[in-house]
Chains A and B, each alone.
Chain A
């Protein structure tokens, strides 16, 4: 059974159509990579899945089936999607002045515990768990008491996204260009975090320009996104082919029948 099934999804922003019929099936345990040129709409897909209010869904459907219970994802509020295990690692993580990382994660973690009917942790147990997860993404504990993302470097912000993912244990995580702007060490740390979180019950959709992140995280399926659609899907080797040849050779195919 699919964990996430996107059917012929179309969406627009300010009346401009960005997604033009996206089809994607994600099963538990899978890692998907979505690659494509700038402006192809791949980031939009992740925002629409998370419920970003700027985008209007104009057609199609998204069936999300946590614990084999299908739900209409598009009917859910952003916070409900997150409660049910949808996660978006932001391309540009937002700074939250005056809100410490720990307070933020506590608020978020508690909501998810309540929604999933898991007992809340004591302050001490929560802090211990947070330290453990910070270690997983090689983040200095001093970042936990700092305001969320404020004054963080690009790499620190991205690692902070992975820390949130590690704490919230999502079922489907979209990573929106998490590798962009990272140096090689940060890339390794971020990828290491993702690899440690992979399991047979969750799934990842990694959106990226470059195949270099895929040297560290091995995808099961690679998709090529162009002009608001997935125009080609293949195995790991497709990413290498794209790295070598670029995207242009695929474009004529997109004109033909799907």
Chain B
């Protein structure tokens, strides 16, 4: 322990002490100190500019007014975290969820997830009992309000008992000018027959970097569906891992990411099929503008026991400028012999014939492009299900196409 800690790790240690040295947080920090932050030499991180994050000297920052919350939340169950801290005043009354509260320990996937677990002011989790069918969505809002080189971490654990069903809507929003490093680690556990639809909106300002771990564990006949929309942040990295531990489970992973000028959006997924007769479908789509950079890495492991696995993966990118960059890498490792697995990656530009066809029908170029982007993204947006969420997804796409 001779080398001095970096300002980032020093700040993390101080936060840990502030949080009362919770054992699981202390363990997370110990693991983080042992491994350090990843660098470009690590295969899973090679495309990201991590040095500025590692060199961050966290500041308290200056608090700005809260960002506007989506207007579809009224009357719906919500938990709001402001700079990592649960804000009870903004959340649904405790009586609405207190019965489901549990200790909320998470098992992070990456060093940034460990950082989140180490510095989170408290661990927070909910356990939905067997058979519970949550009527409306459960909203999880992570708000960032402080400008400057701030550091925040939050964790959340949700477990669904046997046959329970829920929709989780995770939103990451920030105040004007909020900056720094925002980390989050989420664990989702689905017992046998449980069903979870998980929607994520990452709509952070351009001064923030967002590093998120999402770990999913599915039981027998469980259905997990993820729809992730990534619009904001300077650097955004989602690491999502699904471990399928039961037969007959279905996993659906979908994402739309929209890196514009100066932005990097990275989605790393890992799907671990450990049991027979499971199905999975993965569609990751990106639209890039300016020098935007999209990264997709999709690992699929089909273990020897996972016979009759049926898994499709596709990655599609639409490049609107010459300076955009896409790195897409499917990675299939199949140890079972009776499986059906497909994967494909395409990278293209707006089709000139399609543009002319639209323009020949009185539609100006800008609107024609918007329509084509909509056509490209609509299958992901339609997966949002709820009309208010679809509207929010469309608005995100419109903001991108008008930028």
Contacts and interface: CB of A to CB of B under 8 A. Distances in A.
B353 A97 contact: no
A112 interface: yes
Interface stretch (B11-19, B136-144, B362-370): B362-370
B378 A107 contact: no
Contact size range, B:
20 to 34
Contact of B361 (A52, A97, A98, A104): A104
B54 interface: no
A94 interface: yes
Contacts, number: 80
A96 B356 CA distance: 11
Contacts of A82: 359-363
Nearest to A82: B362
A47 B378 CA distance: 30
Given A53-B352, A94-B353, A96-B354, A77 B359 contact: yes
Contacts of A108: 358, 361-363
Nearest to B371: A99
B372 to A, nearest CB: 8
A51 B375 contact: no
B376 A79 contact: no
A51 B360 contact: yes
B375 A79 contact: no
A168 to B, nearest CB: 7
Of A79, A83, A112, most B-chain CB atoms within 10 Å: A79
B375 A99 contact: yes
B374 interface: yes
Contacts of B367: 107, 111
A98 B353 contact: no
A147 interface: yes
A81 B362 CA distance: 7
A165 to B, nearest CB: 10
A50 B359 CA distance: 9
A164 B363 CA distance: 13
B359 A98 contact: no
B365 A98 contact: no
Interface string A138-154: 00000000010000000
Contacts of A78: 356, 359-360
B338 interface: no
A50 B360 contact: yes
The prevalent SS among residues of B at the interface is helix
Interface residues of A, number: 30
A79 B371 contact: no
Interface in A68-103: 77-79, 81-83, 87-88, 90, 93-99, 103
Contacts of B371: 96, 99, 103-104, 107
Contacts of A94: 353-354, 356-357
Given A94-B354, A99-B374, A107-B371, A79 B363 contact: yes
Interface string A182-225: 00000000000000000000000000000000000000000000
Of A50, A81, A87, A107, most B-chain CB atoms within 10 Å: A107
A98 B373 CA distance: 9
A254 interface: no
Contacts of A147: 375
A115 interface: yes
B375 A112 contact: no
A52 B356 contact: yes
A104 B370 CA distance: 12
A107 B354 contact: no
B352 A107 contact: no
Contacts of B358: 96, 104, 107-108
Contacts of A81: 360
B379 interface: yes
Given A88-B360, A112-B362, A168-B361, A98 B374 contact: yes
A108 B353 CA distance: 17
Contacts of B357: 90, 93-94, 96
B332 to A, nearest CB: 26
Contacts of A51: 359-360
A93 B352 CA distance: 13
A103 B375 CA distance: 10
B356 A53 contact: yes
B352 A79 contact: no
Contacts of A77: 359, 364-365
Interface of A: 50-53, 77-79, 81-83, 87-88, 90, 93-99, 103-104, 107-108, 111-112, 115, 147, 164, 168
13 contacts: A79-B360, A79-B362, A82-B361, A82-B362, A95-B354, A96-B354, A96-B372, A98-B375, A99-B374, A99-B375, A99-B378, A108-B361, A168-B362
Q: Which 3 A-B pairs have the closest CB atoms?
A: A98-B375, A82-B362, A94-B357
Given A98-B378, A111-B364, 9 more contacts: A52-B356, A82-B360, A82-B361, A93-B357, A99-B372, A104-B361, A108-B363, A111-B361, A111-B363
